[in-house]
Amino acid sequence: MSLLNREVFWPPADELTEVAERIRARLGEWPAAETRWRVCLTAPESPSASDLIVVTEHDDSIESGNAAVLEAHGGRVALRRGGERFALEGEWSDDWLAALAAFLDCNFEPHDALTLALAWRAGDENKDDAWPVDFATFPRVADLPAAPEGGFPACPDRLGLYPVLPGAEWVERVLDLGVRTTQLRRKSTDAADLQREIARSVEAGRRHDAQLFINDHWREAIAAGAYGVHLGQEDVQTADLGAIVKAGLRLGLSTHGYYEMLRALHFRPSYLALGAVFPTTTKVMPTKPQGIARLARYVRLLSGRVPLVAIGGIDARVMPDVLGTGVGSAAVVRAVTDAPDTASAVSLLQQMFTSQRENV
């Protein structure tokens, strides 16, 4: 691997490139970057979609075209890209631009590479493990609404096997098989159907003293007295988190990388879902699959801070690798709902979690 054989910075900056190469060499093997990003220290005459233009003060006059813009000043860095804005604040090292180039070369999206770059500290490349693992060095996501007062109730640190199921009948069947954490993901716009399925699922959860989460439909979950709700990143903008806290429900939040993890942690959820680990056909994903190597890094950073759930394309074949990261829970969909024998599939998956606990 070498960054020196291509244009990493514009105008060319040999010293920065050498530092970036030194950092990249210590980060280990990662898939080749799908985009050859160029960090522009001044705006080029013809910006491209693979350019990240760095400015040290707010300037709306910059002709960025399809390029992304990084505004870095006043203890804040904001990335503007494709109509989205990612704002971070905190302290960072003088090497952050070199680190940004290195993490971009590890195939991280710009907002995640930026998060890692701001967490990087000079001299980290001399450690046995050069990857940023100290949560205290990570930046904070800026411009977020206040987290609800009181915080969400805690849930078990290791939620174990976590089937995500399409209906109450499935919830009842899986809970009868001994599963104690599950989620109802009901894809319906029929209000009566939702109310009926959620109420039936919540009742099944109560009978089995299980952790039953409702996907998306937080109002109905509150009305039914569910154990918890699971929301996506976009739902945080519209859901009444204060009402969920007041009702005593747990909250799980989906995340798809470092930036979204930090954003989600601001709201102090009961657990974080990390995904999609592998390609999945059960829903359209906004990001490419994370893979085992990234999952392991996420678990190392966040373990002990919040319960973690791996999700996305997980089945019995890959479950040992997933549990090998140390994650305390793994959500499955088709591994249960498409199994020829539901009881056998659940039993096999449960045994894997039992083996993990015995080996911890």
Q: Which residues are annotated as a binding site for Mg(2+)?
A: 216, 235
356: number of Cβ within 10 Å: 20
Taking the C-alpha atoms of residue 110 and residue 100, their distance in angstroms, rounded to an integer, is 8
Closest CA to 22 of 146, 118, 126: 126
CB neighbour list of residue 223: distance below 8 Å, 6 or more residues apart? 195
**What are residue 226's DSSP bridge partners?**
none
Angle at 114 between CA 328 and CA 43, to 5 degrees: 160
Contact in structure between 53 and 69 (CB atoms under 8 Å):
yes
Q: Which residues are annotated as a binding site?
A: 183-187, 215-216, 235, 254, 280-283, 313
Neighbour-count burial of 141, counting CB atoms closer than 10 A to its CB (0-12 exposed, 13-18 middle, 19+ buried)? buried
| The two three-digit tokens of residue 84, written as one number | 């989205």
